Amino acid sequence: MTVQEGGVQEGRAGAEIGSPRKRSEDARLIAGRTQWTDNMTPQGTLHVAFLRSPHAHARIVRVDASQAMGRPGVVAAFSGADFADEQGSLPCAWPVTDDMKHPDHPPMAVSEVRFVGEPVACVVARDKSAAFDALDEIDIDYEPLPAVLNMDAALAEGSDLVHDDLGTNKSYTWVFENGDLDAALRDAPVVIEREYVQQRLIPTAMEPRSVLCVPDGDDFTLYSATQIPHILRLMLATVTEIPEHRIRVVAPDVGGGFGSKLQVCGEEVLALLLARRLGRPVKWTESRSEGNMTVHHGRDQIQRLTLAAERDGRIRGFKADILADMGAYLMLVTPGIPILGAFMYNGIYKMDAYSFTCTGVFTTKTPTDAYRGAGRPEATYAIERMMDELAAELGVDPIEIRRRNWIAHEEFPYETIAGLTYDSGNYEAATDKALELFEYDKLRAEQADRRDRRDPVQLGIGVSTFTEMCGIAPSRVLGSLSYGAGGWEHASVRILASGKVEVVTGSSPHGQGHETAWAQIAADRLGVPFEDVRVLHGDTAISPKGMDTYGSRSLAIGGVALFSACDKVVEKARRVAAHLLEAAEQDLEFTAGRFSVRGVQEEGKTLQEVALATFAAHDLPDGVEPSLDSDATFDPENFSFPHGTHLCAAEVDTETGMVHLRKYVAVDDVGKVINPLIVEGQVHGGLAQGIAQALYEEAVYDADGNLTTTTMADYLIPSAADLPTFTTDRTETPATSNPMGVKGVGEAGTIASTPAVVNAIVDALRPYGVNDVPMPCTPERVWRALRSETKPDTAEPGAGGGLGSASASGSDSDSAGGAQ
């Protein structure tokens, strides 16, 4: 959408919410005046480097770190065994079933390694290079064990086991059923079955993970590139048995996360333990290749789907059988990620029956966990791809098939087949707007023309009418799902003597723009200038209560907490103002930051005047404490449900398989908007990430369980040059579950866009008999789909060109690099 610049009047109260303010944090971030964890090096800091397993699965026979100790600058070297008694086991906070298999997960492997990249030993040195160089001197004997890479094979009788003591590679099976699915499948005239693979993705935050732990006697300050300083503090205390009040966690400037920093990393635990053992600050920052191997991965599910429908297109039932790759261990919320999708496979549609079964499977790969959307992109992909398959099967336009099934706007609130109550929405309005912006009929006409002409470049149109659940989450619901914590969020507002305002939020920004949006909320609610508000966050000593940032929850939970805290400030100030104005509280009105007696505008007190009077406390009403400070904790009663209609036009070169995105229209309904510029930025970034899953990204393991996509030459991330110009717009249907009417936007673009793109590609190729292209839809896969070949259904590593060829042939290191 068009954003008007300069439309904001500085400090005009009441005009902040809804204003497209440029983000106040950006000048600092863009100019490099930032405080990344890795930028901090207190006096005496020691640097850690980790030696990581080169095997997918092996028994550790012997570790000898003594030679490393003799290297210059090296202070200490340790194996997992050296920390066996104190390192504990990394936490999993989401035991999704009572009988879930949950293996121990030592931060540094002691007796067995189960994925390539698992830490086995470490060197601590006076500089980073010395630590890294000394890793070569650590001698480890491994006894290789069989890699377990394929989920179906892992579940078969007699399979090699990832965790021998568990006796199985199955972690859990989680089931949700509603309605008579058997009847639907038996009676429906149309039954469509498909299998889709949600490939494994590597979350790629701009800032790599980094941790610095500074000891101070029995107290520890841990700086970390984390999304979750509060959860991390509690978990570190639990794992290490260092009392919670002895640990302070600081998330300074954090450069993106997308879920990858919603984690309690072994490196964080070890930094804390090393700092305690050595009594000096200890720092670790990963390299990009190290990160690709060891930051938790996302997606990696096999979806076996069945949709039953009537001949007129009405859906009878939907069945989703999911295999979800846990990787080698269960990390913070690993098993729950696919379960978050369980409530979304029905999408925006009405149906009689629904069945969801998910089995979590251990493999000898990097653990999976939350990645932007976390379960909901997978679910949305499944239902939106299947809606297009249904449309094709019946010869009905994909928009029309959706109209026949979606919840009409007058039917809200609507209890879905998955048991959620969608509070509000207007799918008709978003779709109509998107169709108009897209010029749908014109593009369909061009598509028909290209088909008639047998143009080698075919045009396809993809539709995605998505919804998602965000605002995570009502604590009672989390409890019913066996999640280990609640879903509330906290905010406090401090009114300083001068009338300036400090907002403290438990939500922990890492790129979202809280410092701007939160100041806009506070400025409007308190009637103070935007510039008078400062937002504090990301430090458990400054912001002691919080549930942090993930799942598009910040505004819908944390923003609402701030909204309530501001209202409490105004109520406190009203008592003082009434006293000062010698009026009854109920006779006061509060507008634009000023209390006045109704009907007597000229007599009044500004919030700043009340603040100063409260600070002086010379003349307060009896029983009133000299403070306007207030806090609030908001626990939602329901999720929020952003939705939207995304349309993608893709040109597919049938001679080469290359896909070119011609046009992309996203009309999102994220409820009330605080800052439309930030919302648009979130949508753009989300679209890029969702399109990346459709076209570019895939973590690929070879037959021995080695990750082959360890550099950005092999793991392709699109840049602006690879993406179309996005047309974004909004409809605005307020959420009814919170007083601000807000829903959340952080994941919408990612959730919506992947099926829109793949639907467009398949739509282009349907005349050739193609009904699927596995993701990512590389040119070769499109080409093979056109030749009715399914191989290779996963990318196969090998030697090729560029740096990719160099790394694939890495053992021959001396020959790499001809001369210059």
Partner 1 sequence: MIPAAFDYARPASVDDAVRVLADAGEDAKVLAGGQSLMPLLRLRLAIPDALVDVGRIGALREIRDDGDALVIGAMATHHQVIRDPLVREHAPLIAAAAETVADPAVRHRGTFGGSLAHADPAGDLPAVALALDAVFLVRSVRGEREIPATEFFVDWMTSAMEPDELLVGVRVPKPGPGWGVHYEKFHRTAQAWAIVGVACAVRRNGGAIEEARVALTNMGPAPVRADGVENAVRGRPVSEDSFRSAAEHATEGTEPPGDLHGSPEYRSHLATVLTSRALAAAAV
* Interface ranges with partner 1 (CB under 8 A): 128-129, 132-133, 287, 289-290, 655-656, 658, 695-696, 700, 708-709, 711, 713-714, 716-719, 721-722, 778-780, 783-784, 792, 795-808, 810, 813-820
Smallest distance, Å, CB 803 to partner 1? 5
Smallest distance, Å, CB 240 to partner 1? 29
How far apart, in whole angstroms, are the C-alpha atoms of residue 451 and residue 127?
63
Smallest distance, Å, CB 345 to partner 1? 31
Q: Which is closer to partner 1, CB of 395 or CB of 818?
A: 818
Smallest distance, Å, CB 738 to partner 1? 40
Q: Which residues pair with 138 in a beta bridge?
A: none
Smallest distance, Å, CB 790 to partner 1? 14
Quote the distance between the C-alpha of residue 691 and its chain's center: 15
* Cβ within 8 Å of residue 764, ≥6 positions away: 447, 458, 459, 460, 650, 651, 652
How far apart, in whole angstroms, are the C-alpha atoms of residue 265 and residue 248?
16
Smallest distance, Å, CB 515 to partner 1? 29
How far apart, in whole angstroms, are the C-alpha atoms of residue 120 and residue 475?
38
Q: Which is closer to partner 1, CB of 441 or CB of 655?
A: 655
How far apart, in whole angstroms, are the C-alpha atoms of residue 328 and residue 220?
30
Q: Which is closer to partner 1, CB of 84 or CB of 816?
A: 816
Q: Which is closer to partner 1, CB of 152 or CB of 655?
A: 655
Longest dimension (CA), the chain: 88
Q: Which is closer to partner 1, CB of 81 or CB of 700?
A: 700
Smallest distance, Å, CB 147 to partner 1? 19
How far apart, in whole angstroms, are the C-alpha atoms of residue 437 and residue 162?
51
Output the CA–CA distances (angstroms, integers) from residue 639 to 335, 345, 611, 642, 739, in the order listed.
Answer: 20, 16, 36, 10, 13
Q: Which is closer to partner 1, CB of 2 or CB of 820?
A: 820
Smallest distance, Å, CB 261 to partner 1? 21
Smallest distance, Å, CB 363 to partner 1? 20
Q: Which is closer to partner 1, CB of 207 or CB of 524?
A: 207
Q: Which is closer to partner 1, CB of 285 or CB of 346?
A: 285
3 state SS of 711: coil
How far apart, in whole angstroms, are the C-alpha atoms of residue 730 and residue 1?
8
Q: Which is closer to partner 1, CB of 61 or CB of 816?
A: 816
Kindly calculate the radius of gyration of the chain based on its CA atoms and give it in whole angstroms: 28
Q: Residue written as tokens 């570019």? A: 696
Alpha-carbon torsion (453, 456, 461, 462), positive or negative: positive
Smallest distance, Å, CB 814 to partner 1? 7
The pair of three-digit structure tokens given for residue 217, joined into one six-digit string: 């006697």
Q: Which is closer to partner 1, CB of 410 or CB of 814?
A: 814
Q: Residue written as tokens 């019913």? A: 480
The order of strands in the sheet holding 659-669 is: 457-467, 643-653, 659-669, 726-730
Smallest distance, Å, CB 179 to partner 1? 43
Q: Which is closer to partner 1, CB of 129 or CB of 591?
A: 129
Smallest distance, Å, CB 754 to partner 1? 17
Q: Which is closer to partner 1, CB of 314 or CB of 662?
A: 662
Smallest distance, Å, CB 304 to partner 1? 26
Q: 73 with 126: CB under 8 angstroms?
A: yes
How far apart, in whole angstroms, are the C-alpha atoms of residue 450 and residue 452?
5
* CA-wise closest residue to 753 among 720, 723, 712: 723
Q: 192 with 248: CB under 8 angstroms?
A: no
Query: What would the DSSP string read from start to end of 26-95?
Result: HHHHHTT----GGG---TT-EEEEEEE-SSSSEEEEEEE-HHHHTSTTEEEEEEGGGGTTTS--------
Q: 229 with 48: CB under 8 angstroms?
A: no
Q: 259 with 372: CB under 8 angstroms?
A: yes
* CA-wise closest residue to 759 among 713, 706, 691, 820: 691
How far apart, in whole angstroms, are the C-alpha atoms of residue 39 and residue 248?
19
The CA angle 204-208-209, to the nearest 5 degrees, is 115
* CA-wise closest residue to 361 among 321, 319, 301, 294: 301
Smallest distance, Å, CB 762 to partner 1? 19
Smallest distance, Å, CB 260 to partner 1? 19
Query: What would the DSSP string read from start to end of 251-263?
Result: --S----TTTTSS
Q: Which is closer to partner 1, CB of 136 or CB of 193?
A: 136
How far apart, in whole angstroms, are the C-alpha atoms of residue 408 and residue 165?
52
Smallest distance, Å, CB 818 to partner 1? 4
Number of H helices, E strands in the chain: 21, 28
Smallest distance, Å, CB 806 to partner 1? 5
How far apart, in whole angstroms, are the C-alpha atoms of residue 745 and residue 433?
19
Q: Which is closer to partner 1, CB of 127 or CB of 310?
A: 127
DSSP-derived pairing of the beta strands 282-285 and 46-52? parallel
Smallest distance, Å, CB 409 to partner 1? 40
* CA-wise closest residue to 654 among 497, 436, 363, 451: 451
- CA dihedral 323→327→328→331, nearest 10 degrees, is -100
How far apart, in whole angstroms, are the C-alpha atoms of residue 110 and residue 273?
16
